[in-house]
Structures are given as structure tokens and as C-alpha cells.
Chains A and B, each alone.
Chain A
Amino acid sequence: MRRVAITGVGAICALGRTVSEFRTSLCMGRPGIGRIESTDCSGLRFQQGAEVGGYSHEPYFDDRRADFIDRFAQFAVIAAREAVTGAGIEWTPELRETAAIITGSCVGGQSTEDIGFHEVYKLGHGRVHPLTIPKTMANAGASHISMEFGITGPSFTISTACSSAAHAIGQAFQMIRHGLTDLAITGGSEAPFSFGILKAWEAMRVVSNETCRPFSKDRRGMILGEGAAMLVLEPLEMAQARGAHIHAELVGFGMSSDACHITQPSAEGAARAMRAALRDAALKPEQIGYINAHGTATLVNDVTEIAAIRSVFGSHAERLAVSSTKSMHGHALGAAGALECLAAALALRDGVLPPTANFTEVDPECDLDVVPNRARHAQVEFALSNSFAFGGLNAVLALRRASSQ
């Protein structure tokens, strides 16, 4: 088995349009949550979201190319460009033919679909734009990344709701580890701010009408987010041989299914995924120093996740730092696992643990060290990134700080 290095990182979300901006916001504990601007939310019970403020395709795509790409897939390409550029990949015909692209997305281009269906159902128009299908499909992110770089190797998309990107990264990790490919671009992207989708979230009554306060006693639910994060993965030895900068190592991947309820999480399912990731990485619970939690700030998730962490880590749970960066970048659904894996990798790389922002009051049922409000300097060797989806499909990634080069 080969060790797996993260050699490229890219991000665009409410916290910034580059990894550097993303990192600065995380370290300052500065949330990107505000009034939703891209959609008129006056008919909704909530008005707050974590958008890429003032986004336009113009600096990134010419108008004709943008016509073909929904916002969620534009984000995927923008993040992939930054990751590939930063990794300093030198493309050869062989590399293009074998490189893999694995992306995650939950709702895909449903915003495009929403517009088309509005035309048909509401406006009574007899036709829908012919690009509705290719813009809506959840794999459009992977497809546009492949066209951007001329990559002709294995490329596909995983859709497991809020775990999509974590499952995608885990799959790419396993392909590199087992020698199926020497380079993978992987992550997730999402852009769920269209009225129909927001109405559906409203009906579930899990979205906060103020802000996102994970683990806080007065939490009121999640805040939806959008964006993308992409990673470039390579075998560690090959990355070292070419002198690539290594941000962090991926060392384990654990999956589980709750087999329990379509929306309510199970502590046992979450715990099994964390145990599986530790086992896969050959780590003892005591070796983990930081967990980037799923931490949605719904009443049920946070209590369940903390119970799961306690059951896996026992007394070591009291010494763990556990934070939810969703408090800043919102819940970006199919991109969440990628933004959060990146946040964990940066925490290891830079020795700064991102906080749980908007924290006001300890909930006795979530009583662990949640790094409230202020980032913390700490050299951590190993971290986990938790993703637990509706439908009970869980994915946990284990990361290691890169050894000094």
C-alpha cells in the first residue's frame, strides 16, 4: 500500500475565493453568513445563507462557456484550477490518460432545473432550455474538470447527500493508495440557492432563521452554504521525488450506514464510521488530536455526534479539540466534506485549529472542547473529518500532518 499526499488545494466558498482567503477567515473565526442575495427569500422563514458573495462567472469563464456550466460546476472547475496550479503538475500524455477525477455533489444543478420547471409549470411555456439536462446532472463538475485539463482517465461523481465529497475523497484516496492511479483530483461542489430547493429545506424545519451555532445551547439549526473545495492527491513517494509541497497526508477512510432512519442520525452509525477510519489508518483513538465535526447545529445532529465521539474516544474525548467550521462556511451539502477535509488539512499544516464560531453557551449534552469562537495554536499530528449524511450514510477521513521536508 502506498502513502497518499495532498499536494494541491483549491477552494471557493463564503469565506473566500482562494485557499488563502478561506484559511484567513477560518483562523480569524469570521463567518461568511449573511442575508441570501442570489435568490429573493422574502417568502421564506429563513433569509440567511453562506453564499459566494457577488459571484459572477466573468473573471473565470467566457460567456459562451459559462452558458454550458451551472454555478455548482463552475465552482468545481475554479477550485480544481487552483489545486492543480498549486500542485505544480506537469502534464504528460500518460498522466492525462491515467489521472482520476472524483467529485461529490448532492443536488447538482437543481438551480438550473428549478428555472426550467418554473417556465413549464408556472409560466406555462411550452419548452425548456436544451442545456437544462447537461447543466443539471450531478457529474457536470467532474466532466468540466476533465475538459479543462484534458484528463481522459477514470472520472465519476458520488452523491451521498451531505457525505458526498467525503465519500469522493475517500474513493480517490483508495485508488491512489492501491496503485490504480498516480494522480487524482477530488472534492465536492454545490450551489443550492434557488427558491424551490430553499422551500424544500424550509419545510424540513432544520434551517436556522438567524445563524449557525454548532454545539451551542441556543443553536437553531443549520445555515446552507455553497462553494467547492478540490484536492490533488498523489502517492507520497512520487510527490516527494518531484519535490512537491505536501499540505498533509490522507491516512485512513471509514464508512458506515446507519440502516436506521432516513433523516435521524444514529450515534452508533457515526461511531462505526470513525472506528473504521481509525482502523484503516492503524491509529489508536489516543493519537487523534483534532476532529473537524459534521456539526450542523441541528438539535439532534450535535448531541448524536458528541455521543458518538465519546463512545469511540472514551476518556480521550475530554482531551480532543472538536470544532465545526460549518459555523463559518455554512452547510455546503455535497461540498461540505471537501471544505472540511481541507480545513482539517490546513489545521495540521499550519498548526492552527479553526474555531466553532457563533458559540454562546455550553450545552451540557455537547460538553466537549469545541474550540469556541477563537482559533487555537496547536501542533496536531492526526485529525479526523466527519461527514454524516441524511439517509444514514457516513464517511470519515483520517489525516496526518506532513513530516517536515
Chain B
Amino acid sequence: MSDELIERVLKVIAASKRIPREQVTIDSEFPQLGIDSMDAVEILFALENEFDISIPDDDVRNVRNVRQMVEGVEKLVAAKSAGTAAG
């Protein structure tokens, strides 16, 4: 995981939830940050905009913490650049 990508995801989470950036770490669990299901849906929306990706419903069903979220975004960003390179 690149530090830059992690930082961008953490920033998006903090901005969307309107909490200080320092409060969000790669090891944060959603309940610790007070993130409920509607908050999570808003964060996904913000991540889609930030990275210009589309996040499928099935990929997010079991996401419970920041690390899983970062991993998911990384995978989609990689798939996107692979698609661009190939296409």
C-alpha cells in the first residue's frame, strides 16, 4: 500500500465524517470513529469521486474498518490503471 494512497483515503474519511484527520488511522475500526452504515455509504461516494472509480456493492458488504477500505480502493485503482494501460 502506498503512503500517498493511504493518506488520501484517510483524508476523505475525515472530511466526509467531519472529524480531525489525526483521529483516523489505518488501524481504526468504524465503530471507534462513530461511522454507521449511512456514514460509510457517504464515504464510499466521496472515495469514488476522489479516485474516479466505481465501487461495487458486493465489494463493500463486509468492510468494517479503514484498512479494508484502503485495500479495496487500492485494488480498484490498480484495476483502473491496468485498464487504461491496456486500452
Contacts and interface: CB of A to CB of B under 8 A. Distances in A.
What size tier do the contact residues of chain A reach?
10 to 19
A264 B44 contact: no
Given A45-B56, A45-B57, A205 B41 contact: yes
A45 B44 CA distance: 14
A300 interface: yes
B53 interface: no
B86 interface: no
A205 B44 contact: yes
A262 B41 CA distance: 13
B57 A205 contact: yes
Interface in A327-356: none
Contacts of A45: 54, 56-57
Given A45-B57, A205-B57, A209-B57, A264 B36 contact: yes
A203 B45 contact: yes
Nearest to A263: B38
Interface string B27-55: 00000000011100100110000000010
Contacts, number: 24
A262 B60 CA distance: 21
Interface in A96-128: none
Contacts of B38: 261-264
Nearest to A208: B57
Nearest to B42: A203
B36 to A, nearest CB: 6
Interface in A261-282: 261-264
A306 to B, nearest CB: 18
B42 to A, nearest CB: 9
Contacts of A300: 37
Interface of B: 36-38, 41, 44-45, 54, 56-58, 60-61
- Ranked 5 nearest A-B pairs via Cβ: A263-B38, A205-B41, A205-B57, A203-B45, A45-B57
Given A45-B57, A299-B61, 20 more contacts: A45-B54, A45-B56, A203-B41, A203-B45, A204-B41, A205-B41, A205-B44, A205-B57, A205-B60, A209-B57, A209-B58, A220-B57, A221-B57, A261-B36, A261-B38, A262-B38, A263-B37, A263-B38, A264-B37, A300-B37
